[in-house]
Structure 1
C-alpha cells in the first residue's frame, strides 16, 4: 500500500519591499512521504521569496513533469518554474525549454556547493535559469517552524528575508545568487 501525502495548511503574509509585493496567501501543502520538513519549508520559503498572484504549488516530487512551484499565464504557458534542492542539469535544461524563467533554490550548505560545482558548466549556458543557494542552517531553522497549521510572516528587504511566527524565534534567510538569470 502506497503512503499518502501529509496535508499542511499555511497562511502566509508577505511584505516584499524589494519587489513591492504585499499579499496574504492561504496555501495547502501536500508533503510527499519522502519529503522532509526542511525541504517542505524551503519550498514554502521559495513561494514567499518569488510570490506573485499566479504562483502556485505544483506536484513536484509526486510528478517528474512538474516543478515544486510554477506560474502560468492565462493561456497555460509556463512563465516561472521553481525547483527546490539540487536538480540535475538535464531537468534544468528541460525546464529552461518549457518556461520563460527558471529558479533553483538550493539548500544544505556544503552539499549545495558540491552540487553546483558538478552542474555549473552545463547550467551556465541556460540563459533563463537563476540559481540561489540559501545560507548554511537556513533550511534546518525553517524546519523547526513546521506545523500542520502555520501562520507565517515573510518580510523581504535588501536581498534577505525574515520569517516570523507568533510563537517561535524569527528565522533569517540569506542567500547567494550563484547564477543570475535573464529572460529569453
Structure 2
C-alpha cells in the first residue's frame, strides 16, 4: 500500500512591505511521504516570499512536470516557476523555457557544492534566480512545523521574519544567481 501525504493547515498573515502586499492566506500543504518538515517549511517560505493572488502549490514531488509552486496568469501562461531544493540542470533549463521567471530556494548543507557544480552551466538562463536558505535558518523553520499553524510573516528591506506563538525566525537569504538585466 502506498503511503499518503500528510496534510498541514496554515493560516499565514503576510505583510510584505517591500512589495506593498498585505494578505491573509489559508493554505493546505500536502507533505509528500518522502518530504521532510524542513523542505515543507522552505516551500512555505518560498510561498511567503512570492505570495500573490494566483500563486499556488503545485504537485512538485508528485509530478515531474510541475514545480513546487507556480503562478499562472489567466491565459495559463506560467509567470513564476518555483523550485525548492537542488534541481538538476535539465529541469531548470526546461523551466526557464516554459516560465517568465524561475526561482530556486536551496537549503541543504551541501548547497554550495551543488551550485558550484551547476552554476557555470546555468549562466545562459537569463530568467533564473537562485537563493540559498542558510542551514541554521531552515532547521529553525523545521522546528516550527505543526499540523495546524498560525504564522505571521513580515518582509521589509529584503529581510523576512516568520513568527508563531512562541518562535520567531529571521530569514536572510544568500543570493547565488540573479537574473540577467538588459
State the distance in 2 between where 1:52 and 1:170 align: 23
Match of 2:129 in 1: 130
TM-score for both structures, normalised by structure 2: 0.97
Cα deviations by residue, 1:36-82 (Å, 9 ceiling, x for unpaired): 00000000010001111110000100000000000000011111000
In the TM superposition, 1:92-171 aligns within 5 A as: 92-109=92-109, 111-166=110-165, 168-171=166-169
What TM-score comes out, normalization by structure 1 length? 0.96
Structure 2 CA distance for aligned equivalents of residues 182 and 118 of structure 1: 20
Q: Give the drift of 1:124.
A: 1.6
Query: What is the aligned-residue RMSD (CA, Å)?
Result: 1.2
Q: Which residue of 2 aligns with 1:79?
A: 79
Are the aligned partners of 1:100 and 1:183 in contact in 2 as well (CA < 8 Å)?
A: no
Q: Confirm or deny: 8 A CA contact 1:9 1:26 kept in the other structure.
A: yes
Distance 1:30 1:183, change over 3 A: farther
Cα offsets for 1:6-32 (capped at 9, x unmatched): 111001011111111111101111100
- Whether the aligned pair in 2 keeps the contact of 1:15 and 1:156 (CA below 8 Å) is yes
Take 2:18 and 2:7, find their aligned partners in 1: how far apart are those partners?
Answer: 31
CA apart distance, 1:182: 4.5
Q: Distance in 1 between matches of 2:78 and 2:173?
A: 25
Taking the aligned partners of 1:34 and 1:28, their CA distance within structure 2 comes to 18
Residue 182 to residue 54, structure 1, CA distance change in 2 (3 Å) = farther
Structure 2 residue 24 is the aligned partner of structure 1 residue 27: no
* Residues in 2 aligned to 1:61 and 1:137: alpha-carbon distance in whole angstroms: 24
Query: In 2, distance between residues paired with 1:172 and 1:95?
Result: 29
Task: Quote the Cα distance in structure 2 between the aligned partners of 1:181 and 1:49.
Answer: 17
Q: CA deviation at 1:183?
A: 7.6
1:177 and 2:153 correspond: no
Give 3-state SS (helix, strand or coil) of 1:7's partner. Answer: strand
Structure 1 runs, 4 residues or longer, greater than 2 Å off: none
